[in-house]
Chains A and B, each alone.
Chain A
Amino acid sequence: MATPPVKVYGPPLSTAVSRVLVCLLEKDVPFQLVPVNMAKMEHKKPDYVKMQPFGQVPAFQDDDITLFESRAICRYLAEKYPNKGTAGLFGTNPLVKASIDQWLEAESQSFNPPSSVLTFQLFFAPLMKLKQDEALIKQNEAKLEKVLDVYENRLGSSRYLAGDEFTLADLSHLPNTQFLVEKTDKAELFTSRKNVGRWWSEISTRPAWKKVVEMQNA
C-alpha cells in the first residue's frame, strides 16, 4: 500500500494526539503516525515548530495542508469525509450541527479545563516525577463535579450529548476521561453518576477508541 497522505505527529499517550487518532479511526481514514521524541524536545525544534508554531503535539498533514489544534483537525476530518466510516460525526443538517458545536464548545470550555488539570496532576505528574498540587486537585475536582452534574441531567434525556447519535461532541471527551477513569482514583466521578456512567461505557467501548487505547499501551 502506498504511504497514506495523512500524517499525525506525536505520541498516542498525549490526550490531544489521541483525540485526532480516534477521529481518524472512526472515519476509516488511513494515516501514518510519526513519532515525536518529546523527552529530547523534538517538538521545540525548528522543523517541528514550522508545522506547529506553539511547539505542541499533535501536528497534522493531509496532502498540502498542515493543521494543528486537535478539535480543529477533528472538524476538518468530519467535514472532509462526511460519509466515510462513522457518518454524522458532525451532523447532517445545520440544526444538528449547531447542537454538536454547542456541546463541543461545552467540552472545550467547561469539561476540558478541570479534567485536564486533574489528568496532569494525577497521571502525568507522578509519571514525570513532578510534585502534585493538592489544592489544585481539590479545586478542579469540585469544578468537574459541577460539569458532570449537568451531563448527568442531559444524558438522562439524550443518549449522547448532542442527540441520539455519537458525534464529535462525545468523541472529544474520550482522552481525558480515559485517564481519569482507568489511571486515577477519580473513576467514581463518572461511574457513580448513572447516566454519565452509561454514556462513558458506551463511548469508551467503541472499536475505534479501544484501538487508540491499545496504541497508548503499546
Chain B
Amino acid sequence: MALKVHGTVGSPATFRALAALHEKDLDFEFIPVNLSAKEHKSPQFLAHKNPFGQVPVFEHGDLKLFESRAITKYVAEAFADKGTSLIHKDPKKSAIQTVWTEVEAQKFDPTVAKLGWEIVLKPKFGMTTDEAVVAEFEKKLEPLLDVYEKRLTESKYLGGDSFTLADLHHLPTLQGIMGTKVKSQFDARPHVSAWASDILSRPAWVKVASMLTK
C-alpha cells in the first residue's frame, strides 16, 4: 500500500513527518502543497485533506491522517520492525517517552517556534521582528532548557536510553533556531548542546533538511 505525504518544504510540521518516514527507511510519495497559492485553504483541501487547513496530510491506503505528531506515531507503530525503532515497547519506558513527547508539544515547540517566527520568518515576509517578544520568549526558554539539561544528564536521550519520537519531534524547530543568536542558550548547557548536535546530525534528518537547499 502506497504511502503519501501532502506537505510543503520548509514547513516544520511537514519535516517532522518526513523525518519519521526517513528514519523508518520507508518509500513514500511527496506531494507538494502550494501554501503561497493558499492551496491548503481551498474547499477541496479542507473537505478532503485537513479541515484545519494545515500541512502535512498523510495517506496509507485508505487511512488519512493530519497532525504531524499523530502521523509520526502511526508510522512508528505500524512499521515498528523497519528501520530505526522510534518507540519503546516496554510499557514503563513507553510511558516516560510519552511524557517527554508531551513536553516537546506543550512547552518546547510553542516557545521556540515563537522565537523562530519573530527572528527568522517575519523578516523573510517583510515584517519587523518584535524585540520585546523575543526578549520575553528568550527568558521563557532559559528555565525550560535548564530542565532539559538536568534530564539529559540523567538520560542519554529525552525519552530514555535510545533515540525516539520524543527527540525526533524537536528536529524541525531546533534546526531553525540553531541558526540564530538563541543557539547560545543551547551551547551554554553541555548535555543539551551534545544532544542537539547528535540528533541534528542523524542521516535521516540531514536528508530532510537538505530539501531546503534543493
Q: Which residues of A contact B (CB under 8 A)?
A: 53-54, 65, 67-69, 71-72, 75-76, 79-80, 94-95, 97-99, 101-102, 104-106, 108-110, 113, 147, 150, 153-154
Min CB distance A7 to B, Å, is: 15
B window 42-82: CB within 8 A of A: 51-52, 63, 65-70, 73-74, 77-78
In the complex with contacts A72-B102, A95-B63, A153-B51, A105-B95 CB distance below 8 A: no
Give chain A's interface secondary structure class. Answer: helix
- The segment out of B22-30, B103-111, B171-179, B185-193 that lies at the interface is B103-111
Q: Is B103 within 8 A of A110, CB to CB? A: no
- How many residue pairs, one in A and one in B, have C-beta atoms under 8 Å apart? 73
Which of B70, B96, B150 is in CB contact (< 8 Å) with A101? B70
- The 9 A-B residue pairs with the shortest CB-CB distance, nearest first, are A105-B67, A69-B102, A101-B70, A102-B70, A72-B98, A76-B95, A98-B74, A72-B99, A72-B102
Complex alpha-carbon distance, A154 and B91, angstroms: 33
Which residues does chain B contribute within 8 Å of A154, judged by CB atoms?
51
B4 within 8 A of A: no
Q: Is A67 within 8 A of B63, CB to CB? A: no
**Residue from A95, A99, A109 with most neighbouring chain B CB atoms (10 Å):** A109
Q: Is A106 within 8 A of B91, CB to CB? A: no
Complex alpha-carbon distance, A106 and B73, angstroms: 14
Which of B65, B92, B105, B106 is in CB contact (< 8 Å) with A65? B92
Q: Is A150 within 8 A of B52, CB to CB? A: yes
Min CB distance A43 to B, Å, is: 14
Min CB distance A124 to B, Å, is: 18
Which of A53, A65, A72, A98 is in CB contact (< 8 Å) with B63? A98
Min CB distance A184 to B, Å, is: 23
Which residues does chain B contribute within 8 Å of A106, judged by CB atoms?
52, 66-67
Which of A54, A76, A79, A109 is in CB contact (< 8 Å) with B105? A109
Min CB distance A48 to B, Å, is: 14
B101 within 8 A of A: yes
Q: Is B105 within 8 A of A102, CB to CB? A: no
Which of B65, B91, B94, B107 is in CB contact (< 8 Å) with A102? B65
Which residues does chain B contribute within 8 Å of A147, judged by CB atoms?
52
Which residues does chain A contribute within 8 Å of B133, judged by CB atoms?
none
In the complex with contacts A80-B91, A98-B63, A69-B99 CB distance below 8 A: yes
B147 within 8 A of A: yes
Q: Is A102 within 8 A of B95, CB to CB? A: no
Complex alpha-carbon distance, A154 and B98, angstroms: 27
In the complex with contacts A106-B67, A154-B51, A54-B91 CB distance below 8 A: no
Which residues does chain A contribute within 8 Å of B144, judged by CB atoms?
54
